Structure 1
Amino acid sequence: MNVLTTAVAREARGFFDFLDALIADLKELSFTGPRARFSASAALSVGLATVIALAMHVDNVWWAGISAFMSSQATRPASVKKGALRIIGTVAGALIGVAMASWLAYDQVACCVFLLLATSLGMLGFQLSPHGYAWLLGSITFNLIVLTSLTAPAGTFHFAAYRVIEVVIGVFAAVLLAFLLEPRDGGPEPAKPPGWRAVFGAHWPAALHALRSGVTVMLIPPVWAWFELPSLSQMAITIAAVMAVPAPSDTARDPGRIMVVRAIHRLIGCSFGGLIALVCLALPLTQFLPWLMTLCAGVWVGSHVQASPRAIGYVGTQAAIVFIMTLVQGFGAPTSIWPGLERLGGIFFGLLLLLAVSLVMAVLEPNPSETAETLD
């Protein structure tokens, strides 16, 4: 109890520090400079992807917008690389998901086992592989297809095909805007991932982190069935996005804290993005051009915060994602706030499940420093 109280007090103090950083970021909003150029590229790519997806009448226009946003990076080479990995991972996850969905949809035990394995492997690859983003998207896509098959088995192939199309649309828009607006210079080389060696040795935190992810996603079907929760697939997206952060190093004294911080940041970002989007829907935005301009403006602000030098960029990422999901609902300007509310419900239920699993596993996990002292 004392440990939990101390953790809560520490995070409460951190929340006020976060608010100061967020206010400072918003004061720095500008229409010039590299940060503004990146924000404009991301916002315009989301707008372009949305228009293309609407014209093609894909199932989930918002996923094309999110794919464009997530593929937009500060430089042209980075955008191309992330977009390519997103497509590769999505296609791989879709193929495997379609191949197995007809079996897993009718066998809940096998379904939970494969969700555990797929998520754990995907999250492990995300942390260790040089192509980690493809591993992450493969895991997310597989989970989405399998979970969707639980409620609509006959539509599995249709869902998978459209998911690939939506991702391709988003990546195309992001890469096009990258070539038009973003610099050619690739910037400094990112740190190389550690690779697959010593997974259960020096890199045991990554394995434990991946297992935490797998256990959480594995619990989605039974929890969803028992409590009749909304937005089954959105819960999976929520958990995968929260867990998509490298595990703490083997010298960390508080291995679970990074998960708590990431979950809190997602909760804050989702709340901000969802609340602002709901206010916009209340205007209402029934005309296409004002709606599209509002969408791009919200993504522009979210991208600005995402590029923050103050370690709060994840809040901007999540705010923009939920803003897109809430504002982009069907085949045109939104006419109701209910789809957005349902998606927000899935997000928050997913967060609650994740926090519960993280808390239980944090209690069971040995402290690395204590383990070392015992061995000495």
Structure 2
Amino acid sequence: MDAITRQGLITGFACLFATLIAIAANLDQPYWAAITAYMVANVDPSALATKAVLRVAGTVAGCILGYVLAIATEGFPVLQALVMFMAAAVGTYWRFRSRYSYAWILGAVSILMLIATSITEPTELHDFAWYRFYEILTGVVVATLLSFAFTPLAHLRLEPVAVTVSHDVARHQALSAGLSIVLIAWLWALFNLPSLLQVMITSLVIVSADIVGTRLRGLQRIMGCILGGCLGLLVIIIDAANFWWWAFALTAGIFLMSRLHLSPHPHAYVGTQAGLAFLVTLINGSGPPDSIEAPINRLTGIVIGVAIMTFVSWVMSARLRPAAAA
């Protein structure tokens, strides 16, 4: 069995087990445990260990700082917008300029989630912060233990990434990310957009080192979202209420999508996003979904986030090109 096939099987079962453990522990959003298991998966044990450590570290730091900032700015919309701008901008800048980029972006995402929760459901802020930590930890532990149990561990070590992006490019993309997050919050308040958290997360994670990369990543995210979302909805339509069908479909679907997600293919990100969309479609707060409303809202949030970030990046790029030419 080749490495990708083996890791695909491990990832499928890791997502299922992480979900079941999160549900048994009565965590608020079990799909985050499954998403974490999916995202830390890697055919290289050292890369997996690095992502696992950085994901936990970034989440812990982001939850602590985000909770403090959310409490301090609650009821002050201008300050909340400023904190969201800074979290997105700083997280994006160091995502491109730090060897520990994965921790920075996870920290920024956690801060944004807590600020957004203080806006939409302020009474749930404390519980949300703890749930966020437990959900991420559950996914990391399950994925790591299963992977290490079935993968050779010779020369296991942490491998921070090399910095390849210039200061100017990182600063430009950081500004685009910060402005996009503030625009999203304003549009959400104005038009009551669905799934504020999903829109914010999507807009932040698609940022690439250049405008072309951001557009391509956004297109791949939409393609993956459509693929994974449609497959998830098909599973629901067939018989989501049947636990054994749901468990089999979740495991098999993630295995198939991991084949692309874990590969070196130029469009591997389509597989990444397809798996994420599949998981958020199939997993509800207490298990299999009992309606399609929540999955549809999450998928809609992904599309809106891609559109807003792509637009802001395009505008920023267009404004900077004349200055560069001069």
Using the size of structure 2 for normalisation, the TM-score is 0.95
Match of 1:107 in 2: 76
Alpha-carbon offset, residue 192 of structure 1:
4.6
Which residue identity lines up with residue 293 of structure 2 in the other structure? W
Distance 1:309 1:303 in 2: 12
Distance 1:135-1:53 versus aligned 2 partners, 3 A rule: same
Which residue identity lines up with residue 187 of structure 2 in the other structure? V
- For the 8 Å contact 2:67–2:125, the answer to whether it is kept is yes
Alpha-carbon offset, residue 136 of structure 1:
0.7
Distance 1:345 1:186 in 2: 43
Where does 1:1-376 land on structure 2 (aligned, <5 Å)?
Answer: 32-185=1-154, 192-194=161-163, 202-243=166-207, 245=208, 247=209, 255-366=210-321, 371=325, 374=326
Alpha-carbon offset, residue 218 of structure 1:
1.8
Distance 1:191 1:175 in 2: 17
Comparing 177-186 and 351-360, the one that deviates more = 177-186
Distance 1:220 1:104 in 2: 18
Comparing 358-367 and 312-321, the one that deviates more = 358-367
- For the 8 Å contact 1:78–1:186, the answer to whether it is kept is no
Which residue identity lines up with residue 318 of structure 1 in the other structure? Q
Which residue identity lines up with residue 338 of structure 1 in the other structure? E
Q: Percent of counterpart pairs with the same letter?
A: 32
Distance 2:154 2:216 in 1: 32
SS, match of residue 334 in structure 1: coil
- For the 8 Å contact 1:145–1:159, the answer to whether it is kept is yes
Which 4+ stretches in 1 moved above 4 angstroms? 185-192
Distance 1:123-1:334 versus aligned 2 partners, 3 A rule: same
Which residue identity lines up with residue 230 of structure 2 in the other structure? L
Alpha-carbon offset, residue 209 of structure 1:
1.2
Superposed CA deviations along residues 190-237 of structure 1, whole A, max 9, x for unmatched, are 685339xxx9xx521111111111111121211101111110111111
Distance 2:90 2:11 in 1: 30
Distance 2:264 2:147 in 1: 21
- Gap runs ≥5 in structure 2: none
SS, match of residue 297 in structure 2: helix
- For the 8 Å contact 2:221–2:270, the answer to whether it is kept is yes
Superposed CA deviations along residues 83-130 of structure 1, whole A, max 9, x for unmatched, are 111111111111111111123231111111111111111111111112
Distance 1:215-1:42 versus aligned 2 partners, 3 A rule: same
SS, match of residue 106 in structure 1: coil
Which residue identity lines up with residue 210 of structure 1 in the other structure? A
Alpha-carbon offset, residue 150 of structure 1:
0.3
Alpha-carbon offset, residue 367 of structure 1:
6.7
Larger Rg: 1
- For the 8 Å contact 2:99–2:160, the answer to whether it is kept is no
Distance 1:43 1:92 in 2: 29
Distance 1:138-1:339 versus aligned 2 partners, 3 A rule: same
- For the 8 Å contact 1:90–1:138, the answer to whether it is kept is yes
Alpha-carbon offset, residue 358 of structure 1:
1.6
Q: What is the alpha-carbon root mean square deviation over aligned residues?
A: 2.0
Distance 2:114 2:79 in 1: 15
Using the size of structure 1 for normalisation, the TM-score is 0.82
SS, match of residue 219 in structure 1: helix
Comparing 358-367 and 117-126, the one that deviates more = 358-367
Distance 2:157 2:57 in 1: 24
SS, match of residue 283 in structure 1: helix
- For the 8 Å contact 1:75–1:185, the answer to whether it is kept is no
- For the 8 Å contact 2:46–2:158, the answer to whether it is kept is no
Distance 1:114 1:70 in 2: 27
Distance 2:70 2:158 in 1: 39
